[in-house]
Structure 1
């Protein structure tokens, strides 16, 4: 049999074998034991944290007839077939390559049929965020009304790309990054089972380089085993990961804090000559500075074993730099790390960084971290003259407040104030009327059902602006949104990005493109009445039509009943705007 990678050979087959996700595995086991499983689950989290493994274990457990404490037996025929990937009723789908509507429709159609071998048919859709909008809409109906004996498990690393309508119909579990200690213990267990000699410091280097991914840690461990002929040593782990030894980091840190720029440059160049990656060097230096800072503030929180340094070394290094200086060093390291992502000459940035760090002194740190204080200055002659004028004006105001003036002159008589004029807000009727021509009540009701979901997809400032708005008319191709205040309407009308985002989100939720048009709420009755007049709705004369629209628009608390309401006119209005928007009142 050909060689298999460690992460495949040692893939978890029980919930208890999943590393670092105790809360999630306990919840799933309890649900299985109490028969309270859901029809759809959403597993989210970084890569290599156990999402797909948990999905496969759940598929085995829900179909296992010898379940014990929520764990599958892994010995029955069903468990063995699912482990080998030969069970027809457990379907794994990669959404990155099957993201079209037709693929999801095929799943929807086949999900209706009962399972052939197992008790439950389980669909595991990996990287589900890659599905298209149409595919999500095709999947939505199945999740909303799932067939019996069918379970969907959706896995993704980017949950923010999944529509809220999908998320709300699933049970969501967030897988967290795996700690370096958990990765270390898992690798230690695996190497012990394989009877391979290893250096614990090498395992710590691999665990830190994996950055929270168990699969990444096992992949790096596989590389180290191949590189060193089935042996794990510290030097080989450092070479494979591109990490920097603690000795070189201590030497570099000591030189820059003793302001030895030339020596620090030589050490940095020696690190690069060994083939170390510049980005990895910065990351290791940030982690090193973090350990020193943490040791200064809370020594008990630092695990000396994981750092590979002794207590005496920590005591010596912490005397070289104050916490304020380490803060400043970490800030500069972060800035350089961001800049190095877009350059092909990282050595230049590292040289500049080394010189800057070596030139940091106590005075420099104090100047950059202290709050600036503005020293008082002597007033200039101009300022003195202005102060005198202010004092004279204050005296005049005080005299006027003590009693009314006995006489008036031309300069003190009040002039009549001009009345403020309000600017009439212009509405683009060429966009409004086509929507009104095709507007129906059903479209408006459907749009209002999606309105809250659409608001949640917008940014906070956009939601705040739309808080005082509501859709008043809708067709299959457009929607009219009325704003309470003209000022907010004008701000929304000038914000093209708001209109684009709303159209995109509505398209994503409803599956159809809609044009969004804004109107002020105070002008909406007039716009609606003008539209009815211009399109000759009903067979009434203009006078009767105007009188009838006036009755519909007025908000009279004591309506009369002298004249009968024209049913045909009301029916026409309800046809265009819906029953819930048309209110008939008598004068």
Structure 2
């Protein structure tokens, strides 16, 4: 006969063999002993926790003629036939491949026939949540009014997908995940029966990797036995499961709280080079950090899942601060979510390592206490300084109140501080714009100004928020600001000037140069420009009269540009040159 897997060879044959489900097995045994069995059961729970095995054992126990304390004898013909799957009165159905209405109708019709060999006809429907809604409806009537001597046992890993009308007609048993201690005990029994030497830490590693499933644990044990040479070692179990030794986890966390980025990355790269699964590393780190946190709180190893409370583990729990462990769990949980959507898991692990080795909070208990004392001392000094400043301010207020009358009658005005910024306006550039400025250009600019503000970034908008366009030509625009500092920033911000110029080029067709002027200086600059234009007009009036005849002058004034200039500035200012 060919080799059979351990989980098939060592499948439970009686209720006592089912690990970790004592409450359920005791209830089923008592129901058989007291003859209080139901016509329908629902077994729910994670994979590999004994649901189908319990269903077969129940089928044997309820039909075994030599049942004792609710346990089947496993020696009679009926028990042997059920164990081998040969008894026609115990029918095991996979709902994943028989999920239609016709299959369930066939079961319903055959259920009306009496059992041929056993006392009860037992239907075991595995993965029952895979049935279609029509199939559930076909099964519903049979469960509500079942034929005599027929028992239905429904097994599923997803009970939330089963209609409540089905669940309400069954006795429900929830199989829980098997504890690591129960898994280890079962594996110890099997290895002792097989006369195989083993290390206890190897079984601990396998039980952690199984995540509460006995079938998974036996499958991993099967692999580890094939890999080992005569004796099951911890190193072999580590290689098979892809787990990481506690020493490396401790070393990695030490690199985190001592802020040794290079050391943490070296450990990470070493693990990846050895072929360790990045996802397994993330899970181990989360569980190990959780164990250290619980040990810091409870000082007991009863609740530990990943860690082993040896000397190094205890020393680590005394050194590392809780905030770092909280951050490790949070960062690696986020990293786990990101890794599911990427093919470069090592990149996210490297980023998490760099982030955790450069914390913003104290990473060890000693540093935490030291920083607290420093902060306390600093706070005391700051409070004393603030009290002194408050007393000085109170004295100053009293002095100001005493001198209030003199201040009120003082004719002098407050002078500008020497340290205050005075913006120097580029007057030639302003004059060039004013020489060719028109009301039409200014009106067009004011129309697009609100839209221009929306285009700017937040920092640029903060500079231009108080700006107002006051003059515009085809080549430039003059904008006033309420504060000198804003003029300075607007003039020196090349990116802002380029953004405004490119936007205006798109909207109004030309890229105008922006010139900043403080609002308080604008009236003075404008008046100076008008005055200079009048002086130039007076100096050239004789020349103009000699150069142009009245007919020529009237002809020039009919030109659109000249007439527009006359409208804006008047005849006294406008100088007509050929």
TM-score, normalisation: structure 1: 0.61
Partners of 1:211 and 1:66 in 2: how far apart?
37
The residue number in structure 2 matching 1:174 is: 174
Residue 101 (1) aligns with residue 101 (2): yes
1:184-214 deviation digits (Å, cap 9, x = unpaired): 1111111111110111111111000000100
The residue number in structure 2 matching 1:338 is: 337
Shift of 1:306: 7.2
Q: 1:259 to 1:306 in 2, by over 3 A?
A: closer
Q: 1:342 to 1:82 in 2, by over 3 A?
A: same
SS at match of 1:252: helix
Q: CA RMSD in A?
A: 1.8
1:469-489 deviation digits (Å, cap 9, x = unpaired): xxxxxxxxxxxxxxxxxxxxx
1:43-78 deviation digits (Å, cap 9, x = unpaired): 000000000000000000000111111101111111
The residue number in structure 2 matching 1:436 is: none
Partners of 2:75 and 2:111 in 1: how far apart?
27
Shift of 1:361: 4.3
Partners of 1:209 and 1:251 in 2: how far apart?
21
The residue number in structure 1 matching 2:50 is: 50
The residue number in structure 2 matching 1:132 is: 132
The residue number in structure 1 matching 2:87 is: 87
Partners of 2:18 and 2:47 in 1: how far apart?
14
Q: Return structure 1 stretches of 4+ with deviation > 6 angstroms.
A: 303-306
Partners of 1:21 and 1:109 in 2: how far apart?
34
The residue number in structure 2 matching 1:535 is: none
Superposed counterparts of 1:443-454, under 5 Å: none
The residue number in structure 2 matching 1:360 is: 359
Contact 1:140 1:165 in 2 (8 A): yes
The residue number in structure 2 matching 1:383 is: none
Contact 2:291 2:303 in 1 (8 A): no
Shift of 1:325: 2.1
Instruction: Show structure 1 runs of 5+ residues with no match.
Output: 370-587
Shift of 1:314: 2.3
Contact 1:291 1:302 in 2 (8 A): no
The residue number in structure 2 matching 1:270 is: 270
The residue number in structure 1 matching 2:196 is: 196
Shift of 1:250: 1.3
Q: How many corresponding residue pairs? A: 366
SS at match of 1:173: strand
The residue number in structure 1 matching 2:348 is: 349
Q: 1:113 to 1:230 in 2, by over 3 A?
A: farther
Contact 1:21 1:175 in 2 (8 A): yes
SS at match of 1:16: helix
* Higher Cα radius of gyration: 2
1:338-388 deviation digits (Å, cap 9, x = unpaired): 11111100000000000111112435999xx9xxxxxxxxxxxxxxxxxxx
Partners of 2:305 and 2:109 in 1: how far apart?
56
The residue number in structure 2 matching 1:289 is: 289
Contact 1:19 1:186 in 2 (8 A): yes
Contact 1:108 1:142 in 2 (8 A): yes
SS at match of 2:92: strand
Partners of 1:69 and 1:331 in 2: how far apart?
50
Shift of 1:254: 0.9
Partners of 1:237 and 1:299 in 2: how far apart?
28
Q: 1:365 to 1:267 in 2, by over 3 A?
A: closer
Partners of 1:302 and 1:250 in 2: how far apart?
19
TM-score, normalisation: structure 2: 0.62
Contact 1:294 1:302 in 2 (8 A): no
Superposed counterparts of 1:543-558, under 5 Å: none
Partners of 1:321 and 1:256 in 2: how far apart?
10
Partners of 1:168 and 1:196 in 2: how far apart?
47
SS at match of 2:197: coil
Partners of 2:95 and 2:231 in 1: how far apart?
38
Partners of 1:330 and 1:163 in 2: how far apart?
37
Contact 2:121 2:150 in 1 (8 A): yes
Partners of 1:230 and 1:92 in 2: how far apart?
38
Instruction: Show structure 2 runs of 5+ residues with no match.
Output: 369-578
Shift of 1:304: 7.9
